[in-house]
Amino acid sequence: MRKLSILLILLLALSACTSVKTDESKEVNIYSARNYDVDKDLLNKFEQETGIKVNLFEGKGDELIERLKLEQSDPIADLFMTVGAETLYPALQNNLLADLNLGSVKETLETGYYGTKWVALTKRARVIVYDKVNNPNPSVQNLSDLTDPQYSGQVLSRSSTSSYNVALMAHYLQQNGKDATKELMLGLVNNFARTPTGNDRDQAKAVVAGLGQYAIMNTYYVAAMERSSEQEEVKVAQQIGLIYPSETHVNISWIGQIKNSPNPTNAQKLINFLLSEASQREYTERNGEYPALNTIPVSSLLLPWNDFNKAVIDYETLGQYSIETVQMFDEVGWK
Amino acid sequence: MFTWKRLTQISSILWILLIFILFSETFTLLFTPSNENWQHSVTYVFKDVSTNTLIIVGFSTLIAGLLGLLLASSVSLFEFKGRKLFSFLFYLPLAFPPYVLAYFWMYFFSYTGTIQTFLRQLNIPYSSTWFVIDPIILAIFVYTSSLFPYVYISTKALINRTMGNYIENARVLGYSYPRIISRLVLPLSLPALLGGGLLVALEVLSDYGVVSYLGIPSFSTSIVRSWIRFQDFDTALRLASLLMIFTLILIFTFNYLSRKIKNLVPSKGKPLIPNRLSKQNSIILITVLTSFLFITFGIPFLQLINWSLKSLPSIRIQSIFPNLLNSLYLSIGVTLIILVLSIILANHKRIQNGIISSMSNKLVLLGYSIPGSVIGILCLVFFLNLRNFIPISLNKSALLLVFALIVRYVGLSYQSMDQGFNKIGMKFNEASQVLGKSYFNSMLKIDIPLLKPALLSAFTMVFLDIIKELPLSLLLRPFNFNTLATQVHQYANDEMLVESAFPTLIILTLSFIMITILVKFIQKENN
């Protein structure tokens, strides 16, 4: 009897590990590296409006790509959404994505921010920040200016493990080639105020603290600091000024549909929903990102989308330069 | 004939085989030619990575060992007001996820952090450069302050149980306390120091969150970097296998030393009666202990409470309850399975003390020492291969995550079961069998009750680890499944420290409850 009951308990434990199967036609499966509350709320809204159950699996972009590769013969996910264009190259290269049918939505989007198999949901610029109070007349305009020996000990950046830095330098490599990029990296490293540490917000704080004059930072975090629950962070956000380089690096958060995905129609519906004006407004207002729809206004701390020059980036091949970029980081000693 | 004894033997061999298959791919890689990424790693990052890892692991283990010893000695040797409370409170830092502490201290010393804001408010002139802390030193501080309880717990138990005679004699002979601690308690506590120290070292080796946030190149960050940034699974596994070899050497050394000193140290002795301190001395001791607790535990904890209150309007509160339930299901469920498995494995070693069981000892511990993300990907590959034979729905069940968590944490529980069984031996079970009870019945009626202290401490340690576990949960959880830890990560990863405080606070509260139950039980046993 006792043996039987123990076996029963084990069986129960096993069955608890498997869950009930739901109707395939009424659901959509997403692998997402956009781990934000605003996304969860938008997906909830989609569920309520359409009755389609959204199954969400959150992770990091590159890890999700690895997982999609492993599952390629029998895909589970319908959609993949992530932050950073670097994942686009491996996704296309490994033939993970299906063709998109954007229909009339396409007309509302800016050229260069969508392809046949992907579309940008939001955009973020990587800019230079400085202290408006203690350094009211900043003398730099571009990243390359920061390599000048006069800024020795004045440049702040996070470590080379940051995907934002990888994307930034991969873009430079894509446009200017290996030698120029290495020179830029080396110049920056030589002028670093400290060994790179902390996250984006930590760099802004270090600028205001006077640990260095200039820091490399994402606009997205400036807007996030402005909304912070910590009063001191809000003050920092207000005290820093943003320098948009003459060819500003803009990275995208993008979405794509998985090839041979189980629920393609629902996937398409969800993409259209996320590109709708209402959703785009949420992204901008609650998450501080530049929207894919340029008509929506952004935080007053950031420059309006049309007021600065963007570098032309081929997002589809950006990821091709990631590996070389990381190797160069090691070579120049960017920790 | 089917017997429970046979069943436990077969299942433990099967488990070891499974682990062996899981890890074998990494080791075989070492014997294949390497690619250019590997060469690149060797040229540019290897020196940094090994130096950093050695420094961080070495110092964290040493300092945690020293702190554990001193704290355990203080609450065991001396009687003073609040002694019992202190001896309980020193367990609590174990509940802190190290990555949360890293975020917190980095914030604390930053421009917007408590100190600098305070100085600015009082208009005290200062320079921010005073508060720039070397990331490696901060990492060592964070690991030490959250992991020292491992050493503290094991050392305190040993001192109380066995050192009564020696310490009383030394007191009678008029030895000073510094001398008693350095000449007597230190050498006699070595087995406990080694046991606790090994856990600290393994946990530091496998941790990813702290070093990654602080930007320190280490083994765990390089493994993930090779895999993700270089998109080179091969090099990642190669690095992982090097880490595993390093770990195996570490485990062998610790085990070898433990065996060497086992005979020098008494296993039984008179329980220790603490000595009442003079009023002045007890005030000094209480002040030192309180400040220590305040730094390792009080300051971060108070800040978390403050942040939690501030963040309530801005976090997605409706996620908290389902995440709490998921965390509880997962931690309790997996911990129970791990306990059963580790009893089976340790029991197998008890009956059959051969090469296989001694090898299994190391293999089982291995899971505890490699970064969770490596175990995660090994398990994922294993299950995806398995899917060719058996239809399993990976994204709709927690099976994969449960399996990986077992692989990762069974070693922790196994260590305590093994020690438990070592203490009990076979004699009671054999006596019971002679008296006509079946093997299984003897196990259930005699061994398990005797194992109770080991079971409870294993349950607590594994529970504390799983409830704050991140890399595996992030990689392998099913659809729509979040835990408190993944929610903490979601906010912290997006640099929303304030918002991450509330789920962290719930993790801490649950951990405190577990620790309280454990301590209450130990006190009851001691009485």
Q: In the prediction, which pLDDT does B55 show?
A: 96
- The tens digit of pLDDT for each residue in B406-438 reads 999 998 898 888 888 877 777 777 787 788 777
List chain B residues with CB under 8 Å of A62.
Answer: 228-229, 231
- How much is the pLDDT for A16? 43
Residue B363 has pLDDT above 90, yes or no: no
Spell out the alpha helix ranges (H) of chain A. Answer: 2-16, 37-50, 61-70, 88-93, 163-191, 200-209, 219-226, 231-239, 264-274, 277-287, 315-318, 322-332
The pLDDT of residue B232 is above 80: no
State the pTM of this model: 0.85
pLDDT higher than threshold 60 for residue B483: yes
Dihedral sign of CA atoms B387, B391, B396, B399 in order = negative
Residue B395 · residue B479 · CB < 8 Å: yes
The count of CB pairs under 8 A between chains A and B is: 156
pLDDT > 90? residue A46: yes
Residue B135 contacts A, CB cutoff 8 Å: yes
CB contact under 8 A, B225 and A18: no
A residues 88..107 contacting B (CB < 8 A): 90
Q: Can you tell me the distance from the alpha carbon of B91 to that of B523, in angstroms, rounded to the nearest whole number?
A: 14
Average pLDDT over residues B352-377: 75
Segment B60-67 mean pLDDT: 96
pLDDT at B382: 82
Strand spans (E) along B245-391: 275-276
For B266-316, what is each residue's pLDDT tens digit? 666 777 888 888 889 999 999 999 999 999 999 999 999 999 998 888 888
Q: How many CB atoms lie within 10 A of CB A9?
A: 12
Query: CA B216 to CA B105: how far, in whole Å?
Result: 16
Instruction: Give CA separation, B148 vs A95, A201, B61, B68, B420, in Å.
Output: 49, 31, 8, 6, 22
Q: State how far residue B304 is from chain A, nearest Cα, in angstroms.
A: 13
Residues of B in contact with A229 (CB under 8 A): 307, 310-311, 313-314, 498-499
In this prediction, residue A22 has a pLDDT band, given cuts at 50, 70 and 90, of very low
pLDDT of B183:
87
pLDDT score recorded for residue B267: 63
Closest CA to B213 of B408, B407, B462, B488: B488
pLDDT at A20 exceeding the cut of 50: no
Least CB–CB distance from B494: residue in A36, A70, A230: A36
Confidence of residue B394 (pLDDT cuts 50, 70, 90): low
Pick the range with the lowest mean pLDDT from A5-9, B105-109, B122-126.
Answer: A5-9
Decide if pLDDT at B227 tops 80: no
Residue B319's pLDDT is what? 85
- Band (pLDDT 50/70/90 cuts) for residue B501 is very high
Contact between A197 and B214 using a beta-carbon 8 Å cutoff: yes
From chain A, the residues in CB contact with B341 under 8 A are: none
* pLDDT for residue B2: 56
Q: What is the pLDDT of residues A236-278, one digit of tens each?
A: 999 999 999 999 999 999 999 999 999 999 999 999 999 999 9
pLDDT value of position B268:
67
Task: Please indicate whether residue A135 or residue B231 has the higher confidence score (pLDDT).
Answer: A135
Out of A59, A161, A201, name the one closest to residue B221 (CB). A161
B42 interfaces chain A, CB cutoff of 8 Å: no
Q: Which of B429, B454, B462 is nearest to B525 (CA)?
A: B454
The verdict on a CB contact (< 8 Å) between A228 and B384 is no
pLDDT for residue B464: 92
Q: What is the pLDDT of residue B475?
A: 79
A19 touches chain B (CB under 8 A): yes
Tens of pLDDT, residues A73-114 = 888 899 999 999 999 999 999 999 999 988 888 888 999 999
Contacts of A21 in chain B (CB under 8 A): 393, 396
How close A103 comes to chain B (CA, Å)? Answer: 29
**Lowest-pLDDT choice from B73-82, B149-158, B264-273:** B264-273
**Distance in Å, alpha carbon of A172 to nearest chain B alpha carbon:** 17
Beta bridge partners of A97: A258
For residue A17, pLDDT beyond 50:
no
- Asked if pLDDT for residue B454 goes beyond 90, the answer is no
Tell me: pLDDT of B1 over 50: no
pLDDT at B356 over 60: yes
CB contact under 8 A, B316 and A18: no
What is the mean predicted confidence (pLDDT) over B247-263? 82
Mean pLDDT of B180-189: 88
State the ipTM, two decimals. 0.78
